[in-house]
Structure formats: C-alpha cells, structure tokens
C-alpha cells in the first residue's frame, strides 16, 4: 500500500498540470466550490492514457442491480467512457428503461445474459454481481480486460479465510495473486497499475479510511477497537427478501450479523496490514430505515500521550489533498444526509468522556463511495484518467 507522502500535489485543470492551490483545502464547502475546475491528487508521473476524443468501451455486469444502476447513473456524465455492454440474469433481454425508469433517457444497449455477452466490444468491465457467482465469470473474461469487481470474491488475500467466511470454495485462486485491493485513497499507486481491482465493501470503506492512517501513525491502540455501523437498506441489493420489505424495516432499527459479519475479516485484513500485527475488532452492523447511507461510529483507545487533537490533525493532514475524504470542522457531526448520491466520505473525531479514548464518526453513501463511486474512481486511475472524473456531483440535499 502506498503512503500519502509518495504522492505529489499536482492537479489537472483543463488538461494542463497546475500546482494544487492550498487555499482550497480547508473545508468541504470550499472544495465543492472549486472542484468543477480543479481535479487533484494525481501522481506526477501519471500518463494520460485516454484521450478525450476516444471513449473507452465499458461493460456493466449486473446492470439490473443497485450498484449496476448506480454505475450507469455516474457514467451518464463521464466524458471518457461509453457503455457498450450490459448484462442481467432474470432480467436479461430487457431494456434498462423498463427495469429502471429513472434511466429511461439513457441511450444504452439492452441487457443480455453473461453467457451471450460479446466481450470483444469492451475495454473494461464493472462486475456488479453477487459474491460467489463472480469468480467463475471473471475467470472466463479475456485477460486483456480491465476489471473492477464490486463483490467480495477477491477482497481477502487469504483464500482459506475467504472459504471460511463465505462458506464456499474459491474458484479463481490463480487470479487472486494479481488482485489489487481498491481502497482508493490508501492503495492509489498500486491501483494505477492494476488489471483486476477488488473494490472494498461498504462497511470496510467507512471504517478503514479513518483507522488506517491513525494506526500507521501509532496514534491509536489496536486493541479494544469497537465499531458500531449503520447501513441503508440498498446495501442488501435489489433482490428484496422478506426481511427487507418496507413493513419489516420502517419505524425501527435492528442489528444483524452480531458477533459474525462477513466484513470482519476484510476490516481486520486492512487494519492488520497497517499495524503490521494481528488486529481484531468488535463490529456490529445495523439496518436503518433509509434507502442509502452508512455511518460508522468507532470507539478507540488513544496511544499514550496522544490527544483527540492529534488524531484530528493527522487525519486532516493525511487527506488534505484528497478530494473525497473530508475532515469536517471541529465539533461538526457527519450526517449521512450530507453525502447522499456523492462520492464523499465525511469524518470527524471527538473526545470520549472516558479519558484516553476517542470517538470517530465516518459517513458515506453505501452505493457511491461504498460501491460504484469508488469503483469508478478506481477505473479512472487504472485508465490514467484523473481520479475525480465523473464523480464531482454535489450531494443531494435535502
């Protein structure tokens, strides 16, 4: 994984490299004002592989699902990509407008079954399929294709751990070796050279973005990390089960996966790598009566001598050149409603009443930074396109 210091603070403005302007860094409001003209955090040696004139051809596997439709929405305004292939399973043969009326004006091919897809018509694919089905499908794709996989099938480096937590054999172990984990702000340099990126889970994204820099800087103890996370219902996908019906979700919240959720090994993998020692966490997810959004509230013990101010300043400095990870002003509480529909992750750090402990709050939109937005950010990097391209839309509010 790269360290932030290995990046040069330059940006691309109208196709020309310009020095990044320090004064735009301090608040999200300022960032939103300048972002139309300034894209940032592009490594100095980045070659612009994709010319504006030639659009890269994109396949969306699982276009009839929530993350697939979110990719389509984001790509609709992307200058460098055009969708030339879309697949579905039960909805194969249908048009996107008939499945998702909000996409009716998009000029797109009808969805086909994966077995009928012509992969010679694409340069890259977003794989938005259920875990378990993904490995076999990716194994059958041409090796020339760039792939961002949104499922969990390639996220765990240890195949035995995958088999234990996902309860099935890993069917593409030979590919696992070339996979790059796609937590963009942390693994940026590796992602640029990757062919196959495992996009992180939504919970792991909201948790690792604040914790990895703090662990690397030895500002928090790696024991006794307690994580309480909450997700909107779209996190469960469109294949609605009884438990996800409006009548079962509205007017209440509940925890699930208590003591054992499949994102635990992914979270611990990232934190352990940062700590260079085995880290275990207490993690409990909750289902919230909202369509999208995710909050992780993280309780940590600070390292001896460290203060919440140290944690805050370190995170602020670490992410100051990153467009999408924003440390709010002190005492401002991150709200999921302030990231809806956007690729932003808002973070803040608060003192706990118990001396020596701190509370970190992180919010994302599970379908954007937690899935399709981060996937697009990763493909941009893989294709040598400025990372923020197609991702700068302002969050929806109210």
Ligand X SMILES: CC(=O)N[C@@H](CCC(=O)OP(=O)(O)O)C(=O)O
Ligand Y SMILES: NC(=O)C1=CN([C@@H]2O[C@H](COP(=O)(O)OP(=O)(O)OC[C@H]3O[C@@H](n4cnc5c(N)ncnc54)[C@H](OP(=O)(O)O)[C@@H]3O)[C@@H](O)[C@H]2O)C=CC1
Catalytic positions: 202
Of the candidates 93, 140, 169, 239, which one interacts with ligand Y according to CB under 6 A? 239
Q: What is the closest distance, in whole angstroms, from the C-beta atom of residue 116 to ligand Y in the complex?
A: 11
270 is a contact residue toward ligand X (CB under 6 A): no
Interaction between residue 372 and ligand X (CB under 6 A): no
Q: Does 306 bind ligand X (CB under 6 A)?
A: no
Q: Is 358 helix (H, G, I), strand (E, B) or coil?
A: strand
Hey, what's the torsion of the CAs at 251, 255, 256, 262, to 10 degrees?
Answer: 130
Is the peptide bond between 398 and the residue preceding it cis, with omega within 30 degrees of 0?
A: yes
- The region, left, alpha or beta by phi > 0 then psi within -120 to 50, assigned to residue 121 is alpha
Kindly write out the interface string for residues 321-360 of this chain, putting x where it contacts ligand X by CB under 6 A and - elsewhere: ----------------------------------------
Closer residue to ligand Y, CB minimum distance, 128 or 212: 128
Phi, psi torsion values for 361, nearest 5 degrees? -120, 135
The contact pattern for ligand X, residues 193-232, with x = CB under 6 A and - = no contact, is: --------xx----------------------------x-
Helix (H/G/I), strand (E/B), else coil: 200: coil
Residue 285 interacts, among ligand Y, ligand X, none and using kind-specific CB cut-offs from 5 to 8 Å, with ligand X
Residues 296 and 206: beta-carbon distance below 8 Å: yes
- Which of 285, 293, 334, 395 is in the footprint of ligand X by CB under 6 A? 285
Q: Which two tokens stand for residue 317?
A: 């400095």
Question: DSSP string of 15-31?
Answer: TEEEEPPGGG-S-HHHH
The answer to whether residue 133 forms part of the interface with ligand Y (CB under 6 A) is: yes
Q: With beta carbons less than 8 A apart as the criterion, state whether 138 and 172 touch.
A: yes
Taking CB within 5 to 8 Å according to partner kind, which of ligand Y, ligand X, none is near residue 287? ligand X
Q: By Cβ distance, which residue is nearest to ligand X?
A: 235
* 373 lines the binding site for ligand X (CB under 6 A): no
Which residue, 287 or 315, has its beta carbon nearer to ligand X? 287
Which residue in the set 182, 235, 270, 386 belongs to the binding site for ligand X (CB under 6 A)?
A: 235
Q: Looking at 124, 209, 371, 382, which residue binds ligand Y (CB under 6 A)?
A: 371
Give the residue, chosen from 89, 110, 190, 228, that forms a contact with ligand Y under the rule CB under 6 A.
89
How far apart CA 63 and CA 79 sit, in angstroms, is 20
Of 64 and 343, CB closest to ligand Y: 64
Which range touches ligand Y (CB under 6 A), out of 35-43, 88-96, 220-228, 307-315?
Answer: 88-96
The tokens describing 396, both together, are 């929806």
Task: Output the CA torsion 381→387→393→396 (10° steps).
Answer: 70
Per DSSP, 334 falls in state P
Contact status: 125 vs ligand Y (CB under 6 A): no
- CB contact at 8 A, 49 and 59: no
Q: Which residue has tokens 């209440």?
A: 252
């Amino acid at each position: 994984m790269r360290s932030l210091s290995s990046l040069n603070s330059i940006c691309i403005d109208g196709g020309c490299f310009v020095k990044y302007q320090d004064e735009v860094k301090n608040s999200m409001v300022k960032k939103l004002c300048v972002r139309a003209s300034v894209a940032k955090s592009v490594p100095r040696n980045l070659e612009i592989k994709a010319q504006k004139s030639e659009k890269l051809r994109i396949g969306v596997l699982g276009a009839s699902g929530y993350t697939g439709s979110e990719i389509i929405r984001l790509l609709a305004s992307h200058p460098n990509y055009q969708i030339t292939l879309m697949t579905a399973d039960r909805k194969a043969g249908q048009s996107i407008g008939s499945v998702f009326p909000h996409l009716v004006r998009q000029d797109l091919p009808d969805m086909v079954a994966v077995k009928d897809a012509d992969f010679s018509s694409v340069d890259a694919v977003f794989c938005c399929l259920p875990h378990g089905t993904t490995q076999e499908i990716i194994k059958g794709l041409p090796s020339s294709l760039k792939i961002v996989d949104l499922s969990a099938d390639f996220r765990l480096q240890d195949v035995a751990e995958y088999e234990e937590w996902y309860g099935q054999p890993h069917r593409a172990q030979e590919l696992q070796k070339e996979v790059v984990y796609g937590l963009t702000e942390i693994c940026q340099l590796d992602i640029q050279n990757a062919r196959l990126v495992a996009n992180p889970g939504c919970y792991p994204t909201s948790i690792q973005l604040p914790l990895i820099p703090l662990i690397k800087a030895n500002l928090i103890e790696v024991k006794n990390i307690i994580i309480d996370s909450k997700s909107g219902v779209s996190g469960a996908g469109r294949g609605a089960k009884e438990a996800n019906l409006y009548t079962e979700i509205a007017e209440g919240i509940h925890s699930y996966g208590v003591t054992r959720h499949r994102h635990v090994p992914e979270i611990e993998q990232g934190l352990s790598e940062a700590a260079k020692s085995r880290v275990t966490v207490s993690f409990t997810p909750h289902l919230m009566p909202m369509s999208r959004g995710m909050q992780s509230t993280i309780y940590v013990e600070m390292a001896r001598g460290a203060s919440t101010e140290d944690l805050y300043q370190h995170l602020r400095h670490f992410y100051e050149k990153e467009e999408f990870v924003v440390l709010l002003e002190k005492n401002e509480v991150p709200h999921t409603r302030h990231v809806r529909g956007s690729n932003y992750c808002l973070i803040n750090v608060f003192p706990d009443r118990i001396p020596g402990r701190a509370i970190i709050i992180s919010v994302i939109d599970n379908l954007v930074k937690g899935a399709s937005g981060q996937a697009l950010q990763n493909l941009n990097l893989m294709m040598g396109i400025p990372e923020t391209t197609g991702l700068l839309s302002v969050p929806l509010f109210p």
